[in-house]
Structure 1
Amino acid sequence: MTPQEDQQHTSCVNHEHAAHGHSGHGSHDHGQGLAEMLDLDALLLGSYLEEAAEWAAGIAQTAPRTILDVGAGTGAGTVALARRFRNASVTALDRSAAMLAATRAAAAAEGFTDRVHTLEADLDGPWPESATADLMWASSSLHEVSSPERTIGGMYAALNPGGLLVVLEMDSLPSFLPADGTDSHTAELGLESRLHAAMAHQGWNAHPDWRGELERAGFHRVEQRSFNTMGRPLPEPTARYAANFLGRIRTALAGDGAPATHDTSPGAALRAQDLAALDALLSGTGPSSLLHRTDLQVRGRRTAWAAFKA
């Protein structure tokens, strides 16, 4: 994994968490920093997982007995699925042994040890023969694999007849700063929008509308739904999440040098004052420091595609 690949993890989030959820099958960083970010994403924005799981339960053709969480990360989605589908066995798939260990711990804390299993596999290789299920779930993970078309084909072949595949992605990177700014933080007005544009220019969180890929793989019907996400009012975890995420953006921007004012393409460069404002946010002192703020709130939006196999 190259340093550039590490910088380009988003959620996921989650590499959803992302975010946006979120890891273990392509270019994800599996260090402690990513694990913390995934856990904070689940703590603050995890309500969308329950909403999406409830949506899947309502549209599934039959109640699933076997579920596969593809790119499980630290297990937030795995636990949400086990909680909603009480009669199902849930397998978390990830290429990282450390992430799978975190998933097992999260499942044990909920009392799901007997129903939650793990499978270590890299989806940049062949689809694992044992990875079959009635319901497959891929949250902020499909865009990370080297060949999404091949992976979707593997999912379709391994999904049981009448099964359901749910793919979730972040519509945009998470925001943390007050939307309208304040008199004491005027340098932050519009800052996150410009940061997001700069990251889009670098290819962060790049994913298509998956409908076409899913239909070409053979799924006979695809439904789509959006989930607005608003973080829980927990100032200290929110500040840590913001510092973690914006710190990754700052690292990615470090190699850009001075803003290239001659390049007018969208997101090609940031103003010097934007970088200064970002540095002030990431500093440990001063009125703008994220670690001393109580006016932060995580905001975002996810889209889910539900694909049905005949």
Structure 2
Amino acid sequence: MDHPTSHRTPHGTHSVHRHEPGLDAGDQAEILDLDAEVLAEHHASVIAWLPLGPAPRHIVDLGCGTGAGALALLERFPEAELTAVDSSAAHLHRLQQKVAAAGAADRVRLVQADLDAPVWPGLGEPELVWASASLHHMADPADTLRKVYELLAPGGLFAVVELADFPRFLPGDAPEAAPGLEDRCHAALGRRHAAHVRHRGADWGSGLVEAGFTIEGERTVTVDIGPSRSDAVGRYALSSLRRVRAGVASVLSAGDLTALDHLLDTDGPRSILRRGDLSVRTERTVWAARRA
């Protein structure tokens, strides 16, 4: 990870998302951007559900990526300032461009930092801390939860969003040459994550309580979009399955790997971009935790 730096630009900051082997920063940024575009309504609904009371004046987004949560938070709370934290300079630069385009540059501070470091850079005293799909990347999540508790203003809220899995896109009987391929890919990826990203999909409720928080709400958000011929959904499926392939190619059967490569061949007749039966199916769990 990069060393902590902080700068005020027309924008924000970032701190976690480690790269998967076989993927470069551009691949990951594309997936994060498409997630923001395709699931925009779901991000907004999660934020609207948070039991906040008075609107926060200062928000910290931990592991902001390319800004799906940050942009939704800025839209929901037009008077708030936001500190965006991530370890990736490339992601922060992407976010900076987005915030500038949205006319919110003067409301965002970008912080490049390693959240696994013993001491965090100064992040102020926010009334809301947002961490979406970032806690499972932490080397010591319990320590991170304690630091967030200390960071928050008294009475402040910590919103944690955890992914159940990567989204699924294909019908169960697809593709024709290898029905159930996506299920087998996800099963293999799940075994890989169990070894290398062991906190992914964790139930953060008990950890939040141990860190001193009071859980004020928990919900599971079920996403089921489609079937859709949206270009964004097709690109989201393509980018996601490319990422899945990078993680499971070595354990797939020859037939499954061939079928997957046909889906990923954007010029081929069996390209996933040519399918009219794509949907987006996933689940995310949200915890709203209050500092006393």
TM-score normalised per structure 2: 0.85
Alpha-carbon distance between aligned partners in 2 of 1:28 and 1:123, rounded to the nearest angstrom? 15
Contact 2:81 2:108 in 1 (8 A): yes
Aligned counterpart for 2:18 among listed residues 23, 27, 52: 27
CA shift in 2, pair 1:131/1:272, >3 Å: farther
Tell me what 1:224 maps to: 218
Does 2:207 match 1:213?
yes
> Map of 1:243-254 to 2, 5 A cutoff?
243-254=238-249
User: For residue 203 of structure 1, what is the aligned residue in structure 2?
Assistant: 193
Q: Which amino acid aligns with 1:111?
A: G
1:276 to 243, 258, 261: 258
Aligned residue for 1:173, secondary structure, equals coil
Amino acid paired to 2:101: A
Q: 1:50 aligns with which of 22, 44, 47?
A: 44
Provide the residue aligned with 1:6 in structure 2: none
3-state SS of the aligned residue for 1:247? helix
Aligned counterpart for 2:153 among listed residues 146, 160, 172? 160
| Percent identity over paired residues | 42
* Matching residue's letter, 1:306: A
CA displacement at 1:213 relative to structure 2: 0.5
- Hey, what's the Cα distance between the residues in 2 that align with 1:225 and 1:214? 15
2:4 aligned residue: none
**Offset, 1:189:** 2.8
| Distance in 1 of aligned mates of 2:237 and 2:192 | 20
> Cα RMSD (Å) of the superposition?
2.1
**2:32 aligned partner:** 38
* Alignment partners' CA distance in 1, 2:92 and 2:17: 15
1:103 aligns with 2:99: no
Q: CA deviation at 1:129?
A: 2.8
Using the size of structure 1 for normalisation, the TM-score is 0.80
Residue 295 of structure 1, CA deviation = 2.2
Distance across 1 between alignment mates of 2:110 and 2:87: 10
2:141 maps to 1:148: yes
- Aligned partners of 1:109, 1:50: CA distance in 2, in Å? 19
User: Residue 127 of structure 2 aligns to a residue in which SS?
Assistant: strand
Q: Superposition pairs for residues 73-152 of structure 1, below 5 Å?
A: 73-125=65-117, 126-152=119-145
Q: CA deviation at 1:275?
A: 2.4
Q: Which residue of 1 aligns with 2:170?
A: 177
CA distance in 2, matches of 1:132, 1:169: 24
